[in-house]
Amino acid sequence: MPAVDLSRLRARFKLLQLQIEDPVEFTRGLREIFIFHADLTHPAGDSPSGVFTHPVFNTPRLLNSEVVKFSNPFVTQNPQLLLQIIDRLWREPEVELRELAAQLLGKLPSSHYPEVLARIQAWSQVETDADLFPFLHQQASAAIRQQSPELWLEVLNGWISSNEPWLTKLALAGTIPLIDDYSYENLPAIFAFINPLVLNPGPQNQYELLRVIEHLARRSEVETVYFLKQVMSLSDAPGLGRFLRRAIELFSPAMQESLRVEMRQRQLT
């Protein structure tokens, strides 16, 4: 894998810019740059959700960052053209190019939010792409979450109200980038969002719910414990005790004991 020579890389980008009106040729040229910087002898890296099932270039992270910088002018000047390029990139097999598609999707202006959301939802239906979902949910939704977090929650509410199991899972996964964003302060909205599902935690959503609880506990352990105690006071669902026993492991020893005391009092052990 050749070291990234920034001056040479940026010169190649300038040449590539001449082809940007043709998304097919532009994507082909971009792919050649990634191949040039690839490390095909290095073992594939781990995805955020486990081992990648897609081919990888093992290119330096800097390469994606430079492409995003190079593309910034087109975010405002020609977002529709950039959207065509994004669609081409998402159809490429390699992880780095598909992550790049998600990164660029997350840069588009508010005028293109409907197209962004449509792609997040459509691309999340392909189960074989599950190892790419963290990129898709965290990076493609970046502008929406930062500029209009209430719109993102509204979208998630629409998904969770659809009664489609896969959309419910997608909606729960979509809360995690909000929780992990410390500039987002409206955690009560997240607790209200997951409340109906935690009150009656069916087996079909337990994994996703536990992930949300894990991230909430990292962000604010005290608030999350308080929320779970409220749930105990409001629900006698048959699956609640089992769910809580699994959730308890996500907390500090002191908070675990506090939750266990509450569970014993509520006869949920």
pLDDT in tens, the chain (269 residues): 567 889 999 999 999 989 999 999 999 999 999 999 998 775 555 444 444 578 999 999 999 999 999 999 999 999 999 999 999 999 999 999 999 999 999 999 999 999 999 999 899 888 788 888 888 888 999 999 999 999 999 989 988 888 888 889 889 999 999 999 999 999 999 999 999 999 999 899 999 999 999 999 999 999 999 999 999 999 989 899 999 999 999 999 999 999 999 999 988 87
Instruction: Based on the fold, state whether residues 184 and 97 are members of the same structural domain.
Output: no
Residue 49's pLDDT is 44
Instruction: Based on the fold, state whether residues 15 and 99 are members of the same structural domain.
Output: yes
The residue out of 115, 132, 152 marking a domain boundary is 115
The reply to whether 197 falls in a domain is yes
Q: Which domain holds residue 101?
A: 1-115
The reply to whether 161 falls in a domain is no
% helix, strand, coil for the chain, step of 5: 70, 0, 25
Contact 198, 225 (CB under 8 A): no
Main-chain dihedrals φ then ψ at residue 46, nearest 5 degrees: -80, 140
Instruction: Based on the fold, state whether residues 92 and 190 are members of the same structural domain.
Output: no
Distance, CA of 197 to CA of 210 (rounded, Å) = 11
Instruction: Based on the fold, state whether residues 10 and 101 are members of the same structural domain.
Output: yes
Instruction: Based on the fold, state whether residues 18 and 107 are members of the same structural domain.
Output: yes
Distance, CA of 94 to CA of 88 (rounded, Å) = 12
Instruction: Based on the fold, state whether residues 109 and 35 are members of the same structural domain.
Output: yes
The reply to whether 137 falls in a domain is no
The residue out of 70, 97, 115 marking a domain boundary is 115
Instruction: Based on the fold, state whether residues 202 and 101 are members of the same structural domain.
Output: no
The reply to whether 171 falls in a domain is no
Residue 166's pLDDT is 84
Distance, CA of 39 to CA of 228 (rounded, Å) = 47
Q: How far is CA 66 from CA 81, 150, 200, in A?
A: 19, 31, 46
The residue out of 115, 136, 167 marking a domain boundary is 115
The reply to whether 57 falls in a domain is yes
Contact 215, 134 (CB under 8 A): no
The reply to whether 257 falls in a domain is yes
Instruction: Based on the fold, state whether residues 111 and 184 are members of the same structural domain.
Output: no
The reply to whether 97 falls in a domain is yes
Residue 50's pLDDT is 47
Q: How many domains does the chain have?
A: 2
Residue 22's pLDDT is 95
Residue 1's pLDDT is 55
The reply to whether 145 falls in a domain is no
